[in-house]
Copies of this chain bind each other. A is one copy, B any other.
Amino acid sequence: MPDRFLTLLARSLPATVPFVGPEAQERARGAAFTARLGANESGFGPPAAAIAAMERAASEVWMYGDPEAHELRRAIARHHGVAPEAVMIGEGIDGLLGLLVRLTVGAGDPVVTSDGAYPTFAFHVTGHGGRLHKVPYRDGAEDPEALAAAARAVGAKLVYFANPDNPMGSWHGADRVAALIADLPQDSLLVLDEAYVDLAPEGTAPPFDTGCANVIRFRTFSKAWGMAGARVGYAIGHPGLIAAFDRVRNHFGMGRVAQAGALAALSDQGHLARVRGLVAAARERVGQIGRGHGLTPLPSATNFVALDTGRDGDFARALVAALGRRGVFVRMPGVAPLDRSIRVSCGPDAALHRFAAALPDALAEALASQR
């Protein structure tokens, strides 16, 4: 019984994982998905220069990557107009969130998030013994004023806020974000997850102010940059807080191929504009498909669209399963009332076409399952 080796905290943790990958579902159904629209990956891919750089770096894989990721860190800093000391690179936002929680959350420490927001953040908080306080969404969006009020009420160490939001696609303007930052108690650190902000309207992200100590922002190469499989995320914040990651991180965790790919991606500054155009068109198309079958597309500032079924979570779950049986991988929000929607990632026409083709039958099957 190896549980005897575990800490009391580790023994108390569930064995569940935040997300089951599409590959596990493919193995269960015995066939590959033909439309991969569930993980908000970018089927539009990365810049060609990034692929070429990774191909070249494959031959150099016998060498560890630079543990300081010096060049990539400077390139990201230039990209955003901040100092390199304000940037920490890690194995995706997921990995960096885990390190941040480890640095800041002790047993029983209160943490505020939204009920239905990113499960992986909640996973890390629980995993480090923190106490989660969840604020409801308001009108399908995270509620900054309620988050700030909850932070004051419980004395939150961390306040998680995704802008734009996943899984709903909703967003707030930069003024509202700035107001939230100003509104938080002195000892609450805002965890501003901007994984999707490259795809949001101008004016969604406030300007960077890395002199401000009580906010840390997270960006990624997994979404608009189209490099989810390379695992490169980064945090931008006060250099004093950023430096603290060195006390706990896996210094050689960033591989050489991944670093080379992300660095080359940044050299193609036209990529984001191109992808924004493609994603905007795909959002329209997903909305059209949904509306054509009685679903209501919610406004989105991301590379996915939540389609409101107008029914309940059981129905949406049945619909996601029915689409899966037809080779279409989508996901959905995890908690009520958000879970009456399904969440469809923006992808190339061919994938959206397969979604459109599968939807009528899948809807019929989901309806039948409810009778």
Contact = CB atoms under 8 A, between A and B. Distances in A.
A254 to B, nearest CB: 8
A61 B36 contact: no
A258 B255 CA distance: 9
B17 A251 contact: yes
B39 A62 contact: no
Per assembly, the copies of the chain total 2
A98 B250 CA distance: 8
Interface stretch (A66-74, A144-152, A290-298, A320-328): A66-74
B55 A105 contact: no
Given A2-B213, A247-B13, A247-B15, A62 B91 contact: no
A30 interface: no
Interface stretch (A163-171, A175-183, A238-246, A357-365): A238-246
Contacts of A55: 54-55, 58
A116 interface: no
Interface in A34-54: 36, 39, 41-46, 50-51, 54
A21 interface: yes
Contact of A104 (B7, B19, B222): B7
Contacts of A13: 247-248
Nearest to A13: B247
A24 interface: yes
Contact of A229 (B60, B70, B103, B109): B60
Contacts of A46: 61-62
A338 interface: no
Interface in A305-357: none
Given A91-B253, A247-B10, A240 B66 contact: no
A231 B9 CA distance: 28
A247 B187 CA distance: 29
A54 B43 contact: no
Contact of A94 (B17, B36, B237, B250): B250
B103 A10 contact: yes
B58 A41 contact: no
A95 B50 CA distance: 26
Contact of A41 (B62, B102, B187): B62
Among all A-B residue pairs, the 3 with the closest Cβ atoms: A229-B256, A2-B241, A54-B58
Given A5-B213, A5-B241, 5 more contacts: A54-B257, A63-B228, A94-B253, A95-B253, A127-B248
23 contacts: A2-B213, A2-B241, A2-B244, A5-B104, A7-B103, A10-B103, A15-B246, A24-B66, A24-B70, A27-B70, A43-B62, A51-B58, A54-B54, A54-B55, A61-B229, A61-B230, A62-B229, A64-B229, A91-B253, A92-B252, A127-B247, A127-B248, A231-B255
Interface of A: 1-10, 13-15, 17-21, 23-24, 27, 36, 39, 41-46, 50-51, 54-55, 57-68, 70, 91-92, 94-95, 98, 102-106, 109, 120, 127, 157, 187, 189, 213-214, 222, 226-231, 237-238, 240-241, 243-244, 246-248, 250-258, 261
